[in-house]
Each structure stands twice: as C-alpha cells, then as structure tokens.
Amino acid sequence: MSEKTTELETSAEYLQSGVSVDINPPFRGIKFISNKKLDVNDTEKLEQEIPPGECLQFVIVGDLNIKNHYAHTFLAVTDKHIYGFDEALPEGVEKVSYGQLKSARVKRYYGNAMLVFTLPVEEGTDKKKINFLRFSYTEANLFDAAAGYISAIVSGADMTEELAIVKAALEKQFCVCPKCGRTLIRPGAPCMKCESKDAVIQKLGKYIMPYKGILFFCLFLSVITTAASLAPPYMTRQLVDDVLPNKDIMGLVGCVLILLFTHLIRHGIGTIRGYHLKIAGDRIVTDLRNDVYKKAQLLPMRFYDNTSTGSMINRISGDSNVIQSFMLRVTQEVLVQLFQLIGIVIIMFTMSWQLTLLSLVPVPFVVIGSRIFRKKMKPLYRRIWRTWSAVTSVLTDTIPGIRVVKAFANEEGGMKKFAFRNALWLETNKKASRITTLYPHVVNFLMSCGSLLIWAVGGQLVIRDSDMVSAGLLVSFISYTSMFYTPVNFFANFNDSYQQFLNSAERLMDIMDAEPEHNFAEGKHPEKIVGKIEFRNVNFSFDRSKKTLNDINFVIEPGDVVGIVGTTGAGKSTIINLLMRYYDHYDGQILIDDIDIRDIDMTFYRSQIGYVQQEPMMFNDTIYHNIAFGSPTATVEDVLHAADVANAHTFIARMPDGYDTVLGERGTGLSGGERQRLSIARAVLREPSILFFDEATASVDSETEHLIQESIEQLIRGRTTLMVAHRLSTLRKANKIIVVDRGKILEMGTPQELLAMKGKYYKLVQIQTMTEEIKKAKEEERFD
Amino acid sequence: MERIYIDNDMARFVRKDLTVVDMELADGRRFENLEPHRLFPVSVQDQFITLLDENGAEQAVIRDLKTLPKDQQEIIEDCLNEYYLIPKILRIRDFHERFDGLTLFAETDKGPKDIDIRILLKGFRMEGVRVMVRDINDNRYEIPDINRLDSLSRQILGRYI
C-alpha cells in the first residue's frame, strides 16, 4: 500500500512540475506527446494542415529554421504523414507521407543538425533525399528518436511500440536540469546544484556537528575573554577621573592588579581556546576532504571527461580549507563579535547616549561599502580560482609527463606556458588585491573619522562642562568606540570571507552533489556470471555533436573469444567502456547472462571482470601491492601464481627487491611490457568470468608481444573474452570477429567467414600481413 | 598517398546539395559528393578546408579559400555556412547566474538566444579579443571582438572571463 502511495505521489509531482510529455491539450480529442507547449498559432496550423481522420502522434518543437536562424519550428508526426512547420519554407510547411520515404536520419553538422529523409531510387528523378527540418544540438536527441520512429514505421514496425521509444526520449529530456545541464535523479526532480545557498550552508554545516561540544566550550571561553576585554577602558576612566587626581596609591595598585588579572584571563583562556579550535578545525577539514575524495572515487567517467585534474586537486586541498575557516568564523567569531558589539553599545549608552549616537555615523557608510565590495569581489574570486586551476593544470600535465617534455626538448615551451598562466593569475590577483587592500583601509578611515568626531564633540563638552562629560569618561569612551568598530569592521569584512566561502562551496558541491555512478541494483546479483554478453540496439554519444555508437547489436556466447577490430576512432574501446559501466547514459540494452547490466550490483559486476588496458595504470607502491590491487583477500601464493600465469614472475624475481620493489609514479622503473604483464597478473588474481583486453599489446615489441600473448592465452581459457586489437596477430585465438567502423558494426562472424566475405576484415588482414612481413624482415636484418 | 592541395583555379566545384559539392580537377579527375569541413573551425575560417567524401575520407584540401575564383569561393562558402552554425553574439541583454549555471540572454546574428552555460566547465575560451562560448548542449557561439561589445555586455562577460 505504501509503495502504491509513493508511486502515485511521484506521478502527481511529475505532472505538477510540468515535466509530463502530455503537456498540450488533446488534438481533436486525442492525446499526443511533445517536448514543449504549443501556442495557439501552432494549434491553428495543425488544424489547417492535418486532415480529419489523421491521428497526431507526437510533436517536436525545434529552434532553427531552414536558413540557420533561430526560429520557432516544429515537426508533427501523424499516423499517415510527417509535417515540418517552418516559416522560412516557401509554403510555411512541408508534408511527406511514409510511403514516399525509404528512411529517415539526423545529419549532424557543426552546432546544428538536419532531419533528412532518404527517398527510394526512382527512374527519371535525381532527387535522392529531402532536407526536412533544421535544429540545434539542443534538440538533436529528440529528432534522433523521431528519425528512428519514422524509419521504423516505413519498414513496417508497430506504431505503438515505436511511439514508446519516442516517449522515452522525450521524458529523458526532462531528466536534465534546464539551467545547469546536470542529470537529475528522475524527470522533474529538483536540481541539487540549483538549490538555494542556505541549503548549501546547511549541507556543509553538518561537518561541524560532530565537534559541537568543543565548539560550545570554545564559545563559552570566548564569552569570558570578551567580558574581560571590556574591563580595561572602564578601569582607565577610574584611573583618570578618580585615582590620579586624588593621588590614591592604593587605588592605583588595585587598578593595575585588576588590569593584570583581566589580561591574564584574556590571554590564558585565549590560548586554551585557540588550541581547541585548531584541533576542531583540523578535524573538520579532514572529514570534509575524506568525504570529497570518497565522492570523487564514485563519480562517473563523464564527470572526469569534463574536469581537469588540476581543478580537482585545487578543490580537495584549497577549497576545503576555505570552507573550514569560514565554518569556524561563523561558529565562533560571529557570536563573539556580536556579544562584544552588544556589550559595548550598552556600556557606551550608559556613559553618554549623545556620543554613542555620534559614533554610529560611519556605520551606514561601512555597510554600503561592504555591499559594493561584495559585488566587485565575487567574479574576481572566481577568476582567481580559475587562473590558479590553469596553473595547476600545467603542473599536473608536465610534471608526470616530464620524460616526454625532456624527450622533445620542450622544457622551454613548458616554462613559457607556466609563466604565461602564472602571469594571468598574478594579473587577476593584482586586480583583486587593489580592492581587498583598499577596502579595509577605507573602512578603517571611516571609523577613525568616527573617533575624531567623538574627540571633537566630546572634547568641547569636557572643556565647556566637565560635570556633564569628564576627561576620564571621554578617554574611556574613545577606547570603547575603537572597540565598537572592531565588530563593525568584522561584519563588514565578513562578506569577503562569505564570498570566498560561497565560491569554494560552489566548487566543492560540484563534486559532493554530482550524481555518482548509479548502482541501481545494489546488493542484487546472480550467484555467478557465466559470460553471455548481448548488445541490443545500443546507441551512445559522449556529447551531442557526434554519435559514437550507432545501433550496435551482437551476442557473445559464454567462453567465446571475440576480437573487435576497426580503424582508430571506430568505437571499439567505447564498447568496452560501456561494458565496464563507465558510462550509463546509452540507449538500448547491454545484457550479461540475459540480465541488464544496470540491474546487477556494480561492485559485484566489476569484480567479475578482468580488464587489461593499453596503458596499464600502476601506483606508487610495491609490485606486490600493485598486483594485489583490488584483491585484498589474495594470499602471497595467489599473487605468485598470478605473476606466473602473466609471465611476470621471472623478471620480478630478478629484481633486487623482488616483489617489494617500489614502483615510481605510474609505474616508472618498468618497461611497457613489464607493466603490461603486471596488469595481466592483476586481472588473473581476480579470477574473472569475463575478460576485456583493450589493445593490450599495442605498444610493445614483437618479443614482448609473444610473452604477453602466451600469458593471455593461459588466462582466457574457458572465459568469455573481448579483445580490442589493432594487431590482428593478437586475435589468433578468437573464434569470432566484430568489425566496427564509424560507430557501426560492419561485419561479424568467424575469422574464416569474414575472410571468405572479402570485406573490411579481409582488407585489414591483407594490409597487416604485408606490414608484419616487412617488419619481421627488418627485425631479422637488425639482429643478423 | 600525397595530399592534393587546391589553390587558385585548379579545381571546379558544382554544388550538389546543402553541404555537398562535386569537384573536377584541372587534370580531369572527378570527385563526387564531397563535403567541405574546416580543419581549424575555431582558429582559422578560410584556410585549410578539407573535402571529405561520403565515407569520410579526405580527397583534397583547399589551402586558402581566398585564392579561388570568386564564384568557386562562394560555392564553398555557401556549403560552409550551411554546415557551421556558430552564431555571433552581438549583445548580452541580461544574465542569470545560480552557482555553476549561467544563462546569457543574448542577441546573436541569427536572432535572440538564451544561452545556458556551465561556468566551471569549458563554457568560455578566450583567444586574444575573440571569445568562443560553448553551451550545455555543445552548441557553439562566437564573440569576434569582445572590445566591440557594448559596455553592459562587456561588464557581464567580464565576470566570467
């Protein structure tokens, strides 16, 4: 029952939030789906053009006219015709029937795309296609779905089934925040990114909660020190008005002792408070960094495709510090300064209400100034961060790649790039410094003017009527006025740290609130993965400008060894990336043992896969730990066995420190072939059901390739294996070959079948046999 | 295979479709259904224009469009204008910012457009006085010379560039 209610509530919310695809009133009593609301003119046009009896299925509103100008256009698809409404067309509308067409597709240009209809070849006519409607990339995915629908209907598919696919595409559009482009949890869900700033403060505020005890204790100590700091000016008045004129030595000693006591309290308690605050602050920043790093590990590849390493490091190190110091300021300083402000104002009013009102004169100027300051500084802080990220990017690029830099003698180039970006940072920082240094001085000047006003007016009162205002009262009042301006100054400057905090919080929340990899089926998995792999109508693109995979369909039976071949950029590695679940935003289905991979617990799923990449990633750790990476329960014997299988044990044993050899960053100290064999050992240790090799032998010499090949052959026995390879010699054991070209499967079958077809695979074999022969001859020549 | 560079009047083009031409070289070789693409769509507009066949294979490269006869130049330019949509931002009327999301309410040479950008990502790229803008849907826009914009537009952009 409760589940039902939740479902109903969700649907109601879904409809109320305006994300339903039935956003338009029914057309002639029949509902239709659309991406946007149609206006009265649109409906009139539909009424005019669509004859009675035709059923409107869906409408897609576009944003460009045929002449490449922004305009309101729309595609209306009925059960009989396809209509394109575009004011730039001679008639304002174009109409075709399904019968006239052979197929439909979206042709992507640069920044825009076109719905193109291919016509059947007819004698006596040159017309092969119709450029039907133009649109920007914003709507390209929707028109892709429309083209798929039209092509399917032309080839006799069921309208209702195909309409469901269009509906899914339209709904998916509402899964993206229209403001910031982030993927939402469900259609119409609130975007975490676009939430209010209060919510951000609340979210980050949770980090101070575990230390609230210490923080309250520190706050209590602050109240004591603040109270103690209010005593000295009062004692000054006593000294000036009573003790000194009356030459009261005992009174003087008493006053000095009281002052000494207050200073002891202030500084003694201040030290204890400072220590506890430091500890609490460090703990807060540690927790925050841990959480950010933890989250960073769970983010999908799509996030990293768009984020530089430099900016990630900057966020984890710099931004978390800014947030910590702001949090401490809020929890400590704000209250202390507020107490101080209230305490001083009360004391000042009791001393002289006239002088107190005078001392308030500069306050409005300080407040207005702080607003101007905030406005000016916000973009500058962001720019400083960006320029600093650019500086760190050069570091993260060039320092790990120092071998390449030296090999190409490009030290000078690197230095110039670094100096240029550093200069940009300096320039931006200089601009900001002008404001940040000017502002506090302006505030201080205004406050000094306040003190001068008190001197001028109060001094006159002392001279004219010392009974009303005594000299001691004036001196004491001036001291309190200076103290009064400290919290005023603090609150005026608070904006500065608030702005820095918001900028840092914004960047940190970009990680904290980013959608993690979806583990839709946490805890759900079959007992064992047998190894059947199936791609069903898989379409995928990294961004909207190009489709990387187009309608991929294949079935791999358990134990098959399948080679994926094709030219560079054909989409081979993308197939592996999707199988690894690095990207989930594809259309269609990928099944393992007839279960959608998105319905299998991700950790379990990945634990069943052995993945060997072209550039194996090694960590700055021992060889032993590098092999045992991701297999915490492996015994020493297991690791040794894995190294044996991978043909790695021999070279490891020869090393002075053996398995204890600590590798440099990214595995420096080993050859490419040695690193590759370690990564194979790593895969062996996992005892995977499925194996993926992505160009595993692409960057090694023939002899090393032979060694790696041997280890691969041992490893793949009885396991479903997918091998992406440029070198066809790697695919000796493959019983099936898939030839991919420009995101599509071109050929598929056993190597013998493909050779007999004399297609692309045949050509690749021919070319490579020639190349291999030449290469072999050259190698023999070299060693003779 | 050596790349064919086209200069001056060594090729004749016939427009076949919106973005497609047929080409006949001076030596009589004919190529059908070639699509001109800029090799440097961001940095260079009129030079190094590759001519790709239906399989995406390059058949020739126009070294500098300006060296071609006027009528030939126009044919290629028309194709490029159909292929590339990089509206020029003429004015920014207003903006709305919320965290990383920024909307610029802009006037472009292709009409008014609300441009949604993620600030922390590759939203803006500046090369001298030229600014390239990329929105959340991978559409591109260009400000040829930021100094030629009105002061309000410059002020708005100045916050992010």
The confidence score (pLDDT) of residue A120 equals: 87
Residue pair A359/A450 in contact (Cβ under 8 Å)? The answer is yes
In a shared domain, residues B45 and B105: no
The confidence score (pLDDT) of residue A365 equals: 86
Tokens of residue A416, six digits: 């110039």
Q: Which of A77-91, A292-306, A451-465 has the highest mean pLDDT?
A: A77-91
In a shared domain, residues B74 and B107: no
- B126 CB within 8 Å of a chain A CB: no
CB-nearest to B111 from A69, A112, A138 is A69
| φ, ψ for residue A690, nearest 5 deg | -125, 145
What are A's interface residues with B at a Cβ cutoff of 8 A? Answer: 64, 68-71, 109-112, 114, 129, 131, 136-138, 140, 177-181, 193-194, 306-307, 311, 378-379, 382-383, 506-507, 509-510, 543-545, 742
Q: Where are the alpha helices (DSSP H) in B36-150?
A: 70-83
Residue pair B122/B134 in contact (Cβ under 8 Å)? The answer is yes
- B125 CB within 8 Å of a chain A CB: no
Q: What pairs with residue A118 in β-bridges?
A: A103, A129
Which tens digit of pLDDT belongs to each residue from A112-123? 999 999 988 776
Residues of B in contact with A114 (CB under 8 A): 18
The confidence score (pLDDT) of residue A659 equals: 86
Give me the mean pLDDT over the B16-42 stretch. 91
Radius of gyration of chain A measured on its C-alpha atoms: 36
Buried b (16+ CB within 10 A) or exposed e, A111-128: bbbbbbbeeeeeeeeeee
CB-nearest to A510 from B98, B116, B120 is B120
| φ, ψ for residue B43, nearest 5 deg | -95, -30
Tell me the CATH architecture of domain A21-173. Roll (2.30)
Which tens digit of pLDDT belongs to each residue from A349-358? 888 888 888 8
CB-nearest to A379 from B100, B113, B160 is B160
A110 with B86: Cβ contact below 8 A: yes
The confidence score (pLDDT) of residue A766 equals: 81
Question: In chain A, what are the domain boundaries?
Answer: 1-19+178-192, 21-173, 197-512, 530-608+692-697+721-784
Residue A52's contacts (CB-CB under 8 Å, 6 or more residues apart) are: A28
The confidence score (pLDDT) of residue A482 equals: 82
Residue indicated by tokens 């009974």: A467
- Least confident range of A370-384, A505-519, A534-548, B64-78: A505-519
The confidence score (pLDDT) of residue A13 equals: 39
Half-sphere exposure of A22 (CA within 13 A, CB side): 12
In a shared domain, residues B137 and B68: no
Tell me how close the Cα of A512 comes to any Cα of chain B, in angstroms: 13
In a shared domain, residues B101 and B154: yes
Q: Hey, what long-range contacts does A598-601 have (CB within 8 A, 24 or more apart)?
A: A598/A518, A598/A520, A598/A521, A599/A520, A599/A521, A599/A524, A600/A521, A600/A524, A600/A525, A600/A526, A601/A519, A601/A521, A601/A522, A601/A523, A601/A524, A601/A525
CB-nearest to B159 from A109, A306, A379 is A379
- Least confident range of A89-103, A686-700, A732-746, B68-82: A686-700
Boundary of a domain, candidates B83, B109, B125: B83
B residues 26-55 lying closer than 8 A (beta carbon) to A: 41
In a shared domain, residues B11 and B78: yes
In a shared domain, residues B41 and B106: no
Q: Which CATH entry fits the domain spanning A197-512: 1.10.8.60, 1.20.1560.10, 1.10.3720.10, 3.30.428.10?
A: 1.20.1560.10
More reliable by pLDDT, A122 or A256: A256
Residues of A in contact with B56 (CB under 8 A): 742
Q: What is the mean pLDDT of chain A?
A: 81
Residue A38 has pLDDT above 80, yes or no: yes
Give me the mean pLDDT over the B27-34 stretch. 93
| φ, ψ for residue B84, nearest 5 deg | -95, 125
Q: What is the mean pLDDT of chain B?
A: 88
Tokens of residue A670, six digits: 């080993």
Tell me how close the Cα of A506 comes to any Cα of chain B, in angstroms: 6
CB-nearest to B116 from A179, A311, A506 is A179
The dihedral built from the CA positions of residue A721, A722, A725 and A728, taken in this order, carries a sign that is positive
Tell me how close the Cα of A126 comes to any Cα of chain B, in angstroms: 11
How far apart CA A612 and CA B111 sit, in angstroms, is 50
Nearest to A113 by CA among A146, A85, A150, A143: A143
Residue pair A245/A290 in contact (Cβ under 8 Å)? The answer is no
Residues of B in contact with A388 (CB under 8 A): none
- Least confident range of A176-190, A436-450, A721-735: A176-190
Tell me how close the Cα of B63 comes to any Cα of chain A, in angstroms: 21
Residue A322's contacts (CB-CB under 8 Å, 6 or more residues apart) are: A500, A501, A503, A504
B136 with A68: Cβ contact below 8 A: no
Q: What pairs with residue B134 in β-bridges?
A: B140
CB-nearest to A68 from B110, B122, B140 is B110
A70 with B112: Cβ contact below 8 A: yes
For chain B, percent helix, then strand, then coil, each to nearest 5?
15, 45, 35
Residue A257 has pLDDT above 80, yes or no: yes
The confidence score (pLDDT) of residue A184 equals: 55
Chain A to chain B Cβ contacts (< 8 Å): 97
The confidence score (pLDDT) of residue B119 equals: 66
Angular region, A629: left φ>0, alpha ψ -120 to 50, beta rest: beta
Q: Hey, what long-range contacts does A263-266 have (CB within 8 A, 24 or more apart)?
A: A263/A228, A265/A224, A265/A225, A265/A228, A266/A225, A266/A228, A266/A229
Residue A2 has pLDDT above 60, yes or no: no
Residues of B in contact with A133 (CB under 8 A): none
- Least confident range of A344-348, A526-530, A531-535, B95-99: B95-99
Predicted confidence band at A282 (pLDDT cuts at 50, 70, 90)? confident
CB-nearest to A111 from B56, B86, B122 is B86
Residue indicated by tokens 């009129």: B46
More reliable by pLDDT, A485 or A591: A591
Half-sphere exposure of A597 (CA within 13 A, CB side): 29
Q: Which amino acid is at A172?
A: K
The confidence score (pLDDT) of residue A11 equals: 33
Tokens of residue B37, six digits: 């693409």
Residues of A in contact with B119 (CB under 8 A): 382
A177 with B101: Cβ contact below 8 A: yes
The tally of domains found in chain B comes to 2
Tell me how close the Cα of B14 comes to any Cα of chain A, in angstroms: 15
Boundary of a domain, candidates B83, B102, B132: B83
Tell me which of B99, B108, B126, B156 to substitute to probe the interface with A (most A C-beta atoms closer than 10 Å). B99
B96, closest residue in chain A (CA to CA): A179
- Least confident range of A65-69, A132-136, A353-357, A520-524: A520-524
Provide the greatest CA pair distance for chain B. Answer: 60
| φ, ψ for residue A551, nearest 5 deg | 50, 65
Tell me how close the Cα of B135 comes to any Cα of chain A, in angstroms: 9
Which tens digit of pLDDT belongs to each residue from A126-152? 668 899 999 999 888 889 889 989 998
In a shared domain, residues B69 and B136: no
B156, closest residue in chain A (CA to CA): A379
Q: Under CATH, what is the fold of the domain A530-608+692-697+721-784?
A: Rossmann fold (3.40.50)
Residue A715 has pLDDT above 80, yes or no: no
Total Cβ atoms within 10 A of residue A577: 20
Which tens digit of pLDDT belongs to each residue from A48-59? 999 988 999 999
Total Cβ atoms within 10 A of residue A504: 24
Give me the mean pLDDT over the A313-339 stretch. 78
Q: A407 vs A401, A412, A615, CA distance in Å? A: 10, 12, 19
Predicted confidence band at B122 (pLDDT cuts at 50, 70, 90)? low
Tell me which of B37, B89, B137, B160 to substitute to probe the interface with A (most A C-beta atoms closer than 10 Å). B137
Residue pair A183/A191 in contact (Cβ under 8 Å)? The answer is no
Tell me how close the Cα of B107 comes to any Cα of chain A, in angstroms: 11
- Least confident range of A499-503, B14-18, B49-53: A499-503
In a shared domain, residues B74 and B116: no
Tell me how close the Cα of B83 comes to any Cα of chain A, in angstroms: 5
The confidence score (pLDDT) of residue A6 equals: 35
In a shared domain, residues B63 and B97: no
Q: A657 vs A652, A654, A661, CA distance in Å? A: 8, 9, 5
- Least confident range of A397-401, A423-427, A659-663, A674-678: A397-401
Give me the mean pLDDT over the A718-724 stretch. 87
Tell me how close the Cα of A503 comes to any Cα of chain B, in angstroms: 8
Strand order in the sheet with B30-38: B5-6, B58-64, B47-52, B30-38, B21-25, B11-15
In a shared domain, residues B70 and B117: no
* Helix/strand number for chain B, H first, E second: 2, 12
CA angle A506, A508, A511 (to 5 degrees): 110
B140, closest residue in chain A (CA to CA): A111
- Quote the domain boundaries for residue B17: 5-83
A70 with B108: Cβ contact below 8 A: yes
A107, closest residue in chain B (CA to CA): B83
A505, closest residue in chain B (CA to CA): B99
Residue pair A692/A612 in contact (Cβ under 8 Å)? The answer is yes
B111 with A70: Cβ contact below 8 A: yes
B99 with A177: Cβ contact below 8 A: no
Tell me how close the Cα of B161 comes to any Cα of chain A, in angstroms: 7
Predicted confidence band at A61 (pLDDT cuts at 50, 70, 90)? very high
The confidence score (pLDDT) of residue B98 equals: 65
Residue B30 has pLDDT above 90, yes or no: yes
Total Cβ atoms within 10 A of residue A651: 17
Angular region, A523: left φ>0, alpha ψ -120 to 50, beta rest: left
Predicted confidence band at B116 (pLDDT cuts at 50, 70, 90)? confident
Note whether ipTM > 0.90 here: yes
Q: Hey, what long-range contacts does A378-381 have (CB within 8 A, 24 or more apart)?
A: A378/A499, A378/A502, A378/A503, A378/B159, A379/B158, A379/B159, A379/B160, A380/A428, A380/A431, A380/A432, A380/A435, A381/A432, A381/A499, A381/A500, A381/A503
More reliable by pLDDT, B64 or A770: B64
What percentage of residues in chain B have a pLDDT greater than 90? 58
Half-sphere exposure of A535 (CA within 13 A, CB side): 20
Residue B90 has pLDDT above 80, yes or no: yes
Which tens digit of pLDDT belongs to each residue from A158-179? 888 888 888 877 877 766 665 6
The confidence score (pLDDT) of residue A190 equals: 55
Which tens digit of pLDDT belongs to each residue from A585-631? 788 889 999 999 888 888 888 888 888 887 777 877 888 988 988 78
| φ, ψ for residue A344, nearest 5 deg | -65, -45
What percentage of residues in chain A have a pLDDT greater than 70? 87
A180 with B101: Cβ contact below 8 A: yes
Residues of B in contact with A138 (CB under 8 A): 135, 137, 139
Residue pair A552/A611 in contact (Cβ under 8 Å)? The answer is no
Which DSSP symbol is given to A662? B
Which DSSP symbol is given to A464? H
| φ, ψ for residue A274, nearest 5 deg | -60, -40
Predicted confidence band at A1 (pLDDT cuts at 50, 70, 90)? very low
Which DSSP symbol is given to A567? S
In a shared domain, residues B46 and B97: no
Q: Hey, what long-range contacts does A112-119 have (CB within 8 A, 24 or more apart)?
A: A112/A64, A112/A68, A112/A136, A112/A137, A112/B85, A112/B139, A113/A137, A113/A140, A113/A143, A114/B18, A115/A75, A115/A84, A115/A143, A115/A146, A115/A147, A117/A82, A117/A150
A137 with B136: Cβ contact below 8 A: no
Residue pair A298/A516 in contact (Cβ under 8 Å)? The answer is yes
CB-nearest to A506 from B100, B108, B140 is B100
A127, closest residue in chain B (CA to CA): B17
A311 with B120: Cβ contact below 8 A: yes
Residues of B in contact with A129 (CB under 8 A): 17
A110 with B83: Cβ contact below 8 A: yes
Buried b (16+ CB within 10 A) or exposed e, A254-268: ebeeeeeebeebbee
Tell me how close the Cα of A598 comes to any Cα of chain B, in angstroms: 25
Boundary of a domain, candidates B56, B83, B110: B83
Tell me how close the Cα of B117 comes to any Cα of chain A, in angstroms: 7
Predicted confidence band at A417 (pLDDT cuts at 50, 70, 90)? confident
Residue indicated by tokens 């959480």: A291
Residue A260's contacts (CB-CB under 8 Å, 6 or more residues apart) are: none
